[in-house]
Amino acid sequence: MKKWFTFILTAALAVASLAACSPTTQQPQTAAQESGEAPMPEQIPMTTGGASDKVPDPNVDPVAIISVYHGSDVEDIIVQSMDSLSTDQMDAQELVDKLVEYGVLTEGTEVLSFTVEGEDENAAGTLDLNQAVSGEGGSDEMFLAEIGNTFIENYQLATLKLLVNGANYSGNEIQQGDGDVLEYRNDYSSIGGDTETSQAAE
């Protein structure tokens, strides 16, 4: 019995000794770990997430951005809308077509001629149309301000002379003379379109 106990104790000690002497598995160390430095995080390319990260579409042609002055759909005042032409070049007929599209001019309005004399603050434009009828049915003052502001701003003019078939513009309330020209109206948003109201104010 004593020998049996001694045998079991010897076997247990042998097993414990083998377990203590067996090699342990170690993870390979990187150069940074061996030098004591913290590992560098993975580098991620930085982007702004904005338009600068996007590649321009080579299939899209550049266009000219324009301002169109027209009557508001809500009330009888002039409002400004941003739009564009079909190319990056300013074109008088396309500008007139936009005024037709916004209801300022009536269908069939064509540019007979458009010229610009002078430069910068002395630039004076002359626009000759085959007809000049308000598509909105507003006052002459509103009608002329819409045409004047649209052409003066987009062509960077000081003044605009409006002709109809080579003659001075003549409306219901306004009959222009040879020396009458249109200038940019900063107060365009306060110009009403009601003809009766405009006549009463006079």
Each residue of 36-57: pLDDT tens digit?
555 565 665 555 444 444 454 5
Please determine, for residue 29, whether its predicted confidence score (pLDDT) is greater than 60: no
Task: Note whether residue 33 is domain-resident.
Answer: no
Task: Note whether residue 35 is domain-resident.
Answer: no
Task: Note whether residue 12 is domain-resident.
Answer: no
Task: Note whether residue 73 is domain-resident.
Answer: yes
Number of domains in the chain: 1
Write out the residue range of the structural domain in which residue 149 sits. Answer: 65-201
Task: Note whether residue 45 is domain-resident.
Answer: no
> Are residues 157 and 116 in contact, defined by beta-carbon separation less than 8 angstroms?
yes
pTM: 0.67
Task: Note whether residue 24 is domain-resident.
Answer: no
CA separation, residue 34 to residues 25, 42, 104, 135 (Å):
17, 19, 79, 83
Higher per-residue pLDDT: 197 or 116: 116
Task: Note whether residue 142 is domain-resident.
Answer: yes
Per-residue pLDDT at 192: 76
What are the tens digits of pLDDT across the range 12-21?
555 555 555 5
Residue 31: pLDDT band (50, 70, 90) is low
Rounded to an integer, what distance in angstroms lies between the CA atom of residue 175 and that of residue 19?
114
3-state secondary structure of 128: strand
What are the tens digits of pLDDT across the range 103-112?
999 999 999 9
Per-residue pLDDT at 197: 40
Task: Note whether residue 1 is domain-resident.
Answer: no
Mean pLDDT of the chain: 81
